[in-house]
C-alpha cells in the first residue's frame, strides 16, 4: 500500500509538472519578427497596427514584435528559434530554400508589393533621358536594383547604360537624390512624400519619373511574405491561423476605409501633413492583402523572375510547394469568406 501511495504521489507530481509546463508553453508569446524599427508608411504597417489596435488580442493570440534590420537578420533569428514568424523578402527566403533549408513555409503576405516609384531630377523628362546619368540602388543584385532594371527595360532603357551607385536603404537614396549626389533612384511613395525639400540641387527640382502604378505593372513581383518554421506550423498552428486572420481582418478594414489607416499612423507620419497622409492612404487602394496576399500564379511568376537575377544564377531551382503553404490562408478564408477585389486567391 505504501508503494502504491508513493506511486500515486509520483504520478500526481508528474501530471502537475506536465500541466504547469503546458500552461507555460501556452503562455509564451507568439513572436513576430519584423525588419522595420517602427511602422512604415506602407501597407506592411498592418502588422504593427494589428498589435496596437487589438486585432491580435481579439483573435486570442499574444503577439510580441521582434525588430531586426533587414531580411538576413530576420531569417537568422527565425531559424535560431528567436521567433515564430518572420516578415521577409521572397528572394531571401528562396536563397535559403535553394541552398537546402527545407523548414520554412510562407503562409501569407500582408504587403506583397512595395509601392515603388522612380524619382529623378526634374530636367530628366523621360526614362530615355536617364542614359548616362547616375542611378542610386541598395546594392548590386538587391530587389530594388533588379526590379528597377526590369521596369526600365520595359521603357527601352538598359540599366547598364546608367552609372549605378550603391547607396543602401531607400531613405538614404532619397537623401542622396535631394542633395544632388545621384540623378535618379527608386523609393516607396511614402519615402517620396517624406522628402522635406523637393527643390533639389541648384533648384532644378525633383519629380516622379515612373509612378508606382506603372512600376508595378512592369514588375508585378511579390516582395515580402510571412514565413514560419515547419515545427511552428505543426505545434502552434492555431496561433499561426489566428495571426493570419487578424492581418486579413485589419487589411480589409483599411481597404474599406483608407482614412482609418491614415488616422492610425498619425504618430508615425514624420514630416508628412495630414493631407499627405490621406493622399498616401488612397494610393494604396487595391494594395491591401484582403485575402492573404498569396496567389499561386503571382508567386510562381515571382520565383521564376528571381531565378533570372544575378544572385540566383548558380542556384538550383526549387518547386513553389517547397516553401509555400496555402493551407493556413485557405482555413482563414473558409472562415471569413473571400473578399472581392484585386487580391484574389488562386491555387
pLDDT, averaged across the chain: 89
For residues 234 and 25, give the distance between their C-alpha atoms in angstroms, rounded to a whole number: 14
Please, are residues 57 and 207 in contact by the beta-carbon 8 Å criterion?
no
Please write the tens of the pLDDT for every residue from 113-130.
778 999 999 999 999 999
pLDDT in tens, 319-338: 999 999 999 999 999 999 99
| High-pLDDT (> 90) share of the chain, % | 70
d(CA 121, CA 201): 8
C-alpha cell, 158? 538598359
Query: Are 128 and 155 in contact, with CB atoms under 8 Å apart?
Result: yes
Per-residue pLDDT at 250: 98
* Choices 3.40.190.10, 3.30.530.80, 3.30.420.40, 3.30.70.270: CATH for 10-113+222-336: 3.40.190.10
Residue 287 has pLDDT above 70, yes or no: yes
First to last CA, the chain: 63
- Write phi, then psi, for 301 (nearest 5 degrees): -60, -45
Cα 30 to Cα 325: distance, rounded to the nearest angstrom: 19
pLDDT of residue 27: 65
Residues of the chain with CATH 3.40.190.10: 10-113+222-336, 116-218
Please give the CATH superfamily to which domain 116-218 belongs: Periplasmic binding protein-like II (3.40.190.10)
Give residue for cell 504520478.
11
Q: Do the Cβ atoms of 47 and 80 come closer than 8 Å?
A: no
- pLDDT score of 13: 40
Bridge partners of residue 184, in order along the sequence: 120, 135
Instruction: Provide the H-helix boundaries in the chain.
Output: 2-27, 46-52, 55-58, 70-79, 90-98, 143-154, 170-178, 189-194, 212-218, 230-235, 237-256, 258-264, 274-283, 296-306, 327-336
Report strand pairing: 116-121 vs 184-188: antiparallel
Per-residue pLDDT reduced to its tens digit, 265-277: 999 998 889 998 9
**Which tens digit of pLDDT belongs to each residue from 184-199?**
999 988 889 888 888 8
Other C-beta atoms closer than 10 Å to the C-beta of 39 total: 20
Lowest mean pLDDT among 30-34, 211-215, 222-226, 331-335: 211-215
Amino acid at each position: 500500500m505504501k508503494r502504491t501511495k508513493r506511486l500515486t504521489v509520483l504520478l500526481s507530481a508528474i501530471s502537475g509538472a506536465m500541466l504547469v509546463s503546458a500552461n507555460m508553453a501556452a503562455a509564451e508569446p507568439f513572436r513576430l519578427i519584423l525588419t522595420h524599427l517602427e511602422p512604415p508608411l506602407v501597407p506592411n504597417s498592418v502588422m504593427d497596427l494589428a498589435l496596437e489596435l487589438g486585432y491580435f488580442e481579439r483573435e486570442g493570440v499574444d503577439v510580441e514584435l521582434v525588430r531586426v534590420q533587414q531580411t538576413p537578420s530576420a531569417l537568422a533569428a527565425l531559424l535560431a528559434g528567436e521567433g515564430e514568424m518572420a516578415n521577409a523578402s521572397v528572394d531571401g527566403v528562396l536563397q535559403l530554400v535553394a541552398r537546402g533549408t527545407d523548414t520554412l513555409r510562407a503562409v501569407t503576405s500582408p504587403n506583397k508589393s512595395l509601392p515603388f516609384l522612380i524619382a529623378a531630377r526634374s530636367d530628366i523628362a523621360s526614362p530615355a533621358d536617364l542614359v548616362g546619368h547616375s542611378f542610386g540602388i541598395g546594392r548590386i543584385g538587391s530587389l530594388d536594383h533588379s526590379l528597377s532594371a526590369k521596369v526600365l527595360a520595359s521603357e527601352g532603357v538598359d540599366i547598364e547604360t546608367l552609372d549605378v551607385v550603391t547607396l543602401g536603404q531607400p531613405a538614404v537614396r532619397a537623401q542622396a537624390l535631394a542633395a544632388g549626389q545621384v540623378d535618379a533612384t527608386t523609393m516607396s511613395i511614402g519615402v517620396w512624400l517624406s522628402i522635406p525639400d523637393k527643390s533639389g540641387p541648384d533648384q532644378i527640382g525633383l519629380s516622379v519619373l515612373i509612378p508606382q502604378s506603372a512600376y508595378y505593372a512592369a514588375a508585378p513581383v511579390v516582395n515580402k511574405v510571412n514565413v514560419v518554421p515547419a515545427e511552428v506550423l505543426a505545434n502552434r498552428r492555431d496561433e499561426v491561423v489566428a495571426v493570419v486572420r487578424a492581418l486579413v481582418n485589419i487589411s480589409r478594414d483599411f481597404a474599406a476605409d483608407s482614412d482609418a489607416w491614415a488616422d492610425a499612423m498619425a504618430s508615425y507620419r514624420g514630416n508628412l501633413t495630414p493631407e499627405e497622409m490621406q493622399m498616401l492612404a488612397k494610393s494604396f487602394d487595391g494594395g491591401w492583402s484582403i485575402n492573404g496576399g498569396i496567389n499561386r500564379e503571382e508567386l510562381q511568376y515571382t520565383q521564376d523572375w528571381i531565378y533570372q537575377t544575378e544572385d540566383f544564377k548558380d542556384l538550383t531551382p526549387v518547386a513553389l510547394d517547397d516553401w509555400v503553404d496555402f493551407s493556413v490562408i485557405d482555413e482563414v478564408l473558409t472562415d471569413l469568406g473571400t473578399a472581392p477585389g484585386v487580391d484574389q486567391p488562386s491555387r
